[in-house]
Amino acid sequence: MLPASRGSRPPQRPASRSCSASLSEIMDLSSDTKRKPRCVSKVVMLALLAAMCVVMLTQPPCHRRQPPTPTLFSIHERGITHVLVTGGAGYIGSHAALRLLKDSFRVTIVDNLSRGNIGAIKALQNLFPEPGRLQFIQADLGDPEAVNRIFAENAFDAVMHFAAVAYVGESTLEPLRYYHNITANTLLVLEAMATHNVKTLIYSSTCATYGEPEKMPITEETPQFPINPYGKAKKMAEDIILDFSKSKKSDMAVMILRYFNVIGSDPEGRLGEAPRPELREHGHISGACFDAALGIIPGLKVKGTDYETPDGTCVRDYIDVTDLVDAHVKALNKAQRGRVGIYNVGTGKGRSVKEFVDACKKATGVDIKVDYFPRRAGDYAEVYSDPAKINRELNWTAQRTDLHESLRVAWTWQKAHRSGYEPPQAMIL
């Protein structure tokens, strides 16, 4: 028999069971050590997120993008038409903005000031300081984000699109710039109009889209065969507008105005033409005449004396800027959804460059020195309009057809603004 003391011992576990239990404990311990780092990483991440939120909320407002504060320009107001005027700091655009403001439209001007004058904007702001009448946004229409933001933050009813580089000679030297600035930028404006449901477009085009027609005068049915990049870029923009207007998604009111050589200035002397000095070589003949009369340049350069015209110089249809903007406003008032109107805006009478120079000499009282040079690239001999369609459909007729009188009014402004819109510089002694 075994001793009683040995029989009272507790039974021992089998070795294999003991090993199994030890392995389980080890696995549990390993699992616990993995969970702890995960919990710690989550806590750290939450702390970082909380810290970022605190930093963002405690930043000054200028460092956070705020929603725009509602203004009179951001709402549609019954009885008031809000017009976006692109290129409204330029010669024609500023005169159009003046007319719209006088007629109680609400106006937003967008201009990058590459060709326009901040002085014209200041003159308009001084004339119409009341809230909700006029705002100016300096922006480039070639910037898609800026264009979309402008349309998103403003309640436009119509667009009057003037913004464009507009010198024939310069376009032959820098064609890509003209296609970007005119054609591509017009596409961006049109896309923004479609996105933001703006249904009325008054497009400021040019007779340069016709090129050099075989028959005179030019009608709206005259074939368009532009011969320089300026005219080609404008025609491309027209084509884009017309194609979109035919689509089912459009339902737009479109007016395209093709006008001729612009002269004159505001009869009350509030606005005028003030091209940048570096652009005078490419500028309008009226500006060159006035520069010669003021002694800014030694004389007037007439390019081309061998054209098939009565006196050998180019023949053009000179339209006063006041008449031109009147045509734009009448087009705006007559615009109808789902319809397209195309109109030539001119006097219906051609004047030669020599006739123009004689009228300028008379208006300024200065015997301007004239030098003659070979033809300028991209120019054409004779262009003038048949304004019958715009007379008939918009009841528009040019009122200021006296060349001498238009030049006299413009000369009055030029004499009072020898340094353009900027104050005269003091003479350094």
The catalytic site residues sit at 230
Distance, in Å, from the CA atom of 411 to the CA atom of 273, rounded to the nearest integer, reads 10
- Is the distance from CB of 382 to CB of 349 less than 8 angstroms? no
Distance, in Å, from the CA atom of 233 to the CA atom of 176, rounded to the nearest integer, reads 9
Q: In the Cβ-directed half-sphere of 25, how many Cα atoms lie within 13 Å?
A: 6
Distance, in Å, from the CA atom of 325 to the CA atom of 100, rounded to the nearest integer, reads 9
Q: Which residues are bridge partners to 85 per DSSP? A: 109, 160
How far is CA 212 from its chain centroid?
Answer: 28
CA dihedral 346, 351, 354, 358 (to 10 degrees): -80
Distance, in Å, from the CA atom of 225 to the CA atom of 183, rounded to the nearest integer, reads 16
Distance, in Å, from the CA atom of 208 to the CA atom of 174, rounded to the nearest integer, reads 17
Distance, in Å, from the CA atom of 309 to the CA atom of 361, rounded to the nearest integer, reads 22
Nearest to residue 195, comparing CAs of 139, 137, 150? 150
Helix (H, G, I), strand (E, B) or coil at 403: helix
